[in-house]
Amino acid sequence: MKSLMIGTSWKMNKPLSEAMAYCEALATHLPPVMHPSIQPFFIPPFTAIQPVSDFFRMHTLPCLTGAQNMHQQEAGAWTGEISASMIAETGATLVEMGHSERRGAFNETDAAINAKVHTALRHGLRPLVCIGDSADEKRWGVSIETVTRQMKIALYGLSATQAQQTLIAYEPIWAIGEQGVPATPEQAAEIHQALRTALCALYGEEHGHKIPLLYGGSVNLQNCAELAAQPNIDGLFIGRAAWDAAGYCAIVQRVVQDFIAKAQ
């Protein structure tokens, strides 16, 4: 079974009491379905990162935590923002950046995301860079060009070693949210193959194949196993289907069972 990162971002949901209730449920449901090839990760709101990280550590759950955003500057007069060093103190090891909601609602540019990637790596944090095409870009037939451009700018100036510490999550904008329609495994595989080809062109075959590519966008219990089975999909970034701990664990279980069944 190949290694897979399977995680979720809670977005602006789950105040502290709900976050800890999720953790308690996770401690019950996750151990029976865990597999050494699965790396779970969770990205709570800022207010819950440290308590969630502490819970995982105290209960010896092999789960990573992350932040949903960070500022590219080290410190300064950036009211309302949070720095990489602040995030690192919470116990988080990942930082999500470039989500389409941030790009659209907060006008985050590819250049700003590249600066965040460099800052995160300087502080020992792994960037989780979200890239995605809009419904119009899909209709116009420029999806591959769009997401490849976003990825290449995000990785600009990184060595092969640094790039391997960076996670790329393909999240088609047309697939996320309540009205989203998930990409078919074939659609996701086509985009991931193009991204892998671009990574190998940038860093060589050996290094290009070691940079994790995740898929996110209406991942659910019905499509998770087939998506995870695609050769260039190294993980799943799940939305609302994983906002319930039992739902998250059911997806992990489905993926593990499918891989074990195919190996027999």
Options 99, 108, 137, 192, the catalytic residue: 99
- 99 an active-site residue? yes
Q: Side chain identity at 157, as an amino acid letter? A: G
Asked if residues 182 and 132 have their Cβ atoms less than 8 Å apart, the reply is: no
Contact 75, 48 (CB under 8 A): no
Q: Does residue 167 contact residue 94 with C-beta atoms inside 8 Å?
A: yes
Sequence-ordered list of residues with C-beta below 8 angstroms from that of 153, at least 6 positions apart, any chain: 110, 111, 113, 114
Start-end of H helices in 107-223: 110-122, 135-140, 143-154, 160-164, 185-203, 205-208
Angle at which helix 245-263 crosses helix 16-29, to 10 degrees, equals 30
Work out the angle at residue 62's Cα, subtended by the Cα atoms of residues 168 and 58, and round it to the nearest 5 degrees: 130
Residue 39, classed as helix, strand or coil, is: strand
Catalytic residue among 108, 137, 171, 192: 171
Q: What is the maximal distance between C-alpha atoms in the chain?
A: 58
**Residue 171: active-site member:** yes
CB atoms within 10 A of CB 115: 18
* Cα separation, 129 vs 66, whole angstroms: 12
Residue 217: closest CA among 142, 131, 104, 149:
131
Relative to beta strand 167-170, strand 64-67 is: unpaired
Is residue 236 within 8 Å of 213, Cβ to Cβ? no
Q: Report, as residue numbers or ranges, the catalytic residues.
A: 99, 171
